[in-house]
């Protein structure tokens, strides 16, 4: 789990709780940063997801169910950023160059982390809880295999378009970008689990906006879920990096 040169005691109590929860295959709540999205995402390892977790996410979180992937694994799997794909596809439709995301488009970051949307080939429509759980589990499995140096064939297992968004983490992780894409992968690395993490934003049923941080914290208390902030993750990630 946590590497030999690393000790869980090096981290804050809250991060220790988050690491242990993730290692047990449980969900945590992950807030990014005030002034960024200021969103809290349900966060859990892809290989721990069940149809019940997908149901919980869509009913109680309500945001987009995505799978964040480690940068190295994304490279191995051949998953580019969606914005790069659309830029290339401009040859098919010249309208695309006007649509594709460019610097300054996002109000909270310099770019999004979206890669392609996929379904596992054993799903039917791809959207029911069991279909999405299968796609998510299989993404976790293929990331694990690719990082173990096993031979993989992404296209034989998955098709696109699909119903699960993949997100590609920045190479420099939280030092390059502070989205839940990078924060969740940093936590996976610290916890020593497969760096394929499901994230889903918590929305407020009354306002339709991102759930306020205070309300998300309270939800965590009520449901026994650890609440972690981006800044705590960066601090822990730096400790982890030094120990490698
Ligand atoms: O927009 C998103 C996808 O629904 C979410 O905010 C998710 O947390 C991943 O994005 P980011 O890394 O930018 O926070
Ligand atoms: Mg977002
Ligand atoms: Mg986010």
Number of domains in the chain: 1
Instruction: Answer whether residue 2 is part of any domain.
Output: no
Which residues have any ligand 1 atom within 6 Å of their CB? 32, 37, 39, 41, 63-64, 66, 109, 112-113, 167, 179-181, 199, 201
- 119 is known as an active-site residue: yes
In a domain, 178, yes or no: yes
pLDDT(5) > 60: no
- Looking at every residue in the chain, the average pLDDT score rounds to 96
For the segment 115-124, what is each residue's pLDDT rounded down to a tens digit? Answer: 999 999 999 9
Average pLDDT for 228-234: 98
pLDDT by residue (tens digit) across 152-198? 999 999 999 999 999 999 999 999 999 999 999 999 999 999 999 99
CATH code of residue 87: 3.90.870.10
How far, in Å, is the centroid of ligand 3 from the Cα of 113? 10
The pLDDT value recorded for residue 90 is 86
Measure the CA–CA gap between 213 and 61, rounded to whole angstroms: 13
Q: Is residue 182 part of a domain?
A: yes
Structural domain boundaries, residue 228: 8-243
Mean pLDDT, residues 107-128: 98
pLDDT tens digits, one per residue of 29-84: 999 999 999 999 999 999 999 999 999 999 999 999 999 999 999 999 999 999 99
| Percentage of the residues of the chain whose pLDDT score is greater than 70 | 98
Residue 29 lies in a domain: yes
Q: Which residue has the tokens 């976790």?
A: 140
Is residue 193 assigned to a domain?
A: yes
ipTM: 0.99
Q: Which of 70, 76, 119, 219 is flagged as catalytic?
A: 119
In this prediction, residue 4 carries a pLDDT of: 44
* Catalytic (active site) residue 122: no
Flag whether pLDDT at 22 surpasses 80.
Answer: yes
Q: Of these residues, 32, 70, 201, 232, which one is catalytic?
A: 201
**In the structure, what pLDDT confidence band is assigned to residue 2 with cuts at 50, 70 and 90?**
low
Quick check: is 229 in a domain?
yes
Asked if residues 32 and 231 have their Cβ atoms less than 8 Å apart, the reply is: no
- Looking at the predicted structure, is the pLDDT value of residue 1 above 80? no
């Amino acid at each position: 789990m946590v590497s030999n040169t690393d000790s869980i005691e090096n981290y804050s109590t809250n991060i220790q709780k988050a690491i242990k929860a993730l290692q047990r295959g449980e969900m945590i709540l992950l807030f990014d940063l005030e002034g960024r999205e200021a969103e809290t995402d349900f966060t859990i390892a892809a290989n721990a997801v069940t149809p019940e977790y997908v149901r919980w996410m869509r009913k109680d979180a309500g945001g987009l169910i995505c799978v964040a992937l480690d940068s190295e694994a994304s490279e191995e799997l051949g998953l580019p950023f969606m914005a790069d794909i659309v830029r290339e596809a401009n040859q098919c439709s010249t309208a695309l160059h006007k649509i594709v995301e460019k610097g300054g488009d996002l109000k909270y970051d310099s770019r999004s982390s979206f890669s392609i949307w996929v379904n596992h080939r054993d799903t039917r429509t791809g959207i029911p809880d069991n279909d999405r759980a299968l796609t998510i589990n299989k993404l976790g499995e293929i990331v694990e295999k690719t990082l173990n140096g096993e031979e993989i064939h992404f296209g034989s297992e998955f098709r696109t378009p699909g119903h699960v968004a993949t997100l590609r983490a920045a190479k420099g992780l939280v030092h390059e970008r502070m989205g839940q894409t990078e924060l969740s992968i940093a936590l996976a690395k610290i916890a020593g689990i497969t760096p394929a993490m499901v994230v889903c934003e918590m929305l407020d049923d009354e306002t339709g906006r991102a759930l306020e941080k205070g309300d998300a914290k309270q939800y965590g208390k009520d449901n026994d879920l650890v609440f972690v902030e981006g800044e705590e993750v960066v601090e822990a990630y730096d400790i982890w990096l030094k120990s490698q």
